[in-house]
Amino acid sequence: MKILSLGLDKNLLRKKRTSSVVERQLEYAKPFDEWIILVQNSRAEEKEISNVRIIGVKNSFNYDFPFRLFFACFKSIRKFKPNLVIAQDPIFTGFPGYLTSKLLGVPFICNLHGDYLNNHHWISLSRLNFIYNRIGLFVLKRAKLVRTVSTDITNRLLKYNSNFVSIPTPVDFSKYYIHESQPHSTFTVLSVGSYVPEKNFKLIVELAERLPDINFRIAGQGKEFNSIQEEVKNRNLTNLKLLGAVEHSHIGQEFANCDMYLHPTLFDGLAKVIEEAAWYGKPIVASRVSGTGYIIEHKKSGYLFDVNDVEGAIKGIRFYQDKENREESIRLAKEKLKQIDHTGNFRRLQEIWKKIAKK
């Protein structure tokens, strides 16, 4: 049995076998004869690891990728004769994946990792998002199955397709380890993610100005990095440090050195970093969006505030300056984390793929 997977991770061909992204693909591929991945890349190239074949689809700019993927997918279906096509998202990989699957008679399923379709926060970020939203809903209605990462997303979009399944992306915490904390006297808040509008790091700039007694640190990179850096400089915010890109092997040290984790996103699916914060034993303050509730129960295993609510975020940070509140939330969040069966999630996904591929 062969699976054709359509992905967006530009770095997949660059990553080592030991990286979490590659290892997850190898785990997905175990019960299949061949797992072929078409992925966005700066040039056309291929790499094979075990029964996984990664094929780079060259694109000059982001908007031409779906067109190039359509032809690459058409060619790959004819060449490899997969039993199933899986798209990472319903737009950039889902639209060309659905069209080619329909033309060549191969079952098609779609993943939805974020809560952006029909979400006004996402649609308002760009005029193009209105069009993308319509394309995404078009694909959702026609997929054999839609897999989301949280029941919140499923419940909101169930009217578009009755065949939904909610399975979080598996995380292998056996590769993680606790670092020793470096001494610090100031309460420190960490955030991790790409510098893109939906992560809402601009809210942290406001918080840093309002809370000069708190140190804020943001690890990540992205298109908003320079503008946020300029804003930090203009406001002379010495208590906000932009760390830039931090290797996954070093991010544990950043968690060790902080007192609390802050997740101010405009929307989400099921943030892996929230699971990581719980695993590292840090209390979490997060915006009240899809996917945060599976770990966070307000004022118990974490603290929730409404999107863009600066006052609510401040209350959450002040709440965790109390040591007893921190310790109780850490304990409860770890209990919730233990309830997630990541090994079982791998198996559930594989069984679903095999079942659809046989039809």
Pairing state of beta strands 260-263 and 240-244? unpaired
CATH hierarchy code of domain 177-338: 3.40.50.2000
Superfamily of structural domain 2-168+341-358: Glycogen Phosphorylase B; (3.40.50.2000)
Residue 344's alpha-carbon distances to 23, 109, 296, in angstroms, are 16, 20, 22
Domain segments of the chain: what residues?
Answer: 2-168+341-358, 177-338
| pTM value surpassing 0.95 | no
Which residues share a beta bridge with 148?
Answer: 112, 166
Say what the pLDDT of residue 22 is: 82
Spatial distance between the Cα atoms of 320 and 259, rounded to a whole number of angstroms: 8
For the chain, how many helices (H) and strands (E)? Answer: 13, 14
Helix (H) / strand (E) containing 244 = strand 240-244
pLDDT, position 269: 84
pLDDT by residue for the chain (359 residues), tens only, comes to 999 999 988 778 876 655 778 888 888 999 999 999 999 887 888 999 999 999 999 876 667 889 999 999 999 999 999 999 999 999 999 999 999 999 999 999 999 999 999 999 999 999 999 999 999 999 999 999 999 998 889 999 999 998 999 988 877 777 788 888 888 899 999 999 999 999 999 999 999 999 999 999 999 999 999 999 999 999 999 999 999 998 877 889 999 999 999 999 999 888 889 999 999 999 999 999 988 888 899 999 999 999 999 999 999 999 999 999 999 999 999 999 888 887 888 899 999 999 999 76
